[in-house]
């Protein structure tokens, strides 16, 4: 009887240790995946900031009817510009 009880407790302890170890392994792996994704997102944000600095905040938007250049706040639009060999091409300027 004592032997059977000790075997049951040993089985319970080993199953618990195995469950805890596998859970810890899964949590470690997920943490590494989150860290890799965070690093990738941070790099992408840095690249985006550098690109925005090069374009001075000007963005291009297009819908199914027209195309727009969206200027950052505080920038005044010069409407005497041309595109495509001197022809205006339906691109309008708009303030943010």
pLDDT for 67 = 67
The domain spans of the chain are 1-55, 56-96
pLDDT for 6 = 79
Percent of the chain with pLDDT over 70: 52
Say if residue 54 is exposed, middle or buried (CB neighbours under 10 Å; 0-12, 13-18, 19+).
exposed
Supply the pTM of this predicted model. Answer: 0.50
Give which of 88, 50, 47, 39 is closest to 66, Cα–Cα.
Answer: 88
Both structure tokens of 37:
């994704």
Per-residue pLDDT tens over the stretch 56-81 = 666 666 666 666 666 666 666 666 65
| Residue labelled with tokens 């010069």 | 78
DSSP-assigned letters across all residues of 64-96: SS-EEEEEPTTPPP-TT--BTTTB--SEEEEE-
Per-residue pLDDT tens over the stretch 41-55 = 999 999 988 887 777
Work out the average pLDDT over 22-46: 97
């Amino acid at each position: 009887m004592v032997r059977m009880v000790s075997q049951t407790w040993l089985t319970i302890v080993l199953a618990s240790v195995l469950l805890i170890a596998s859970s810890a392994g899964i949590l470690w792996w997920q943490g590494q995946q989150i860290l890799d994704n965070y690093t990738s997102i941070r790099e992408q944000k840095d690249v985006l900031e550098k690109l925005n600095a090069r374009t001075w905040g000007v963005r291009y938007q297009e819908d199914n009817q027209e195309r727009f250049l969206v200027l950052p706040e505080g920038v005044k639009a010069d409407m005497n510009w041309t595109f495509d060999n001197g022809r205006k091409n339906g691109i309008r300027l708009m303030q943010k």
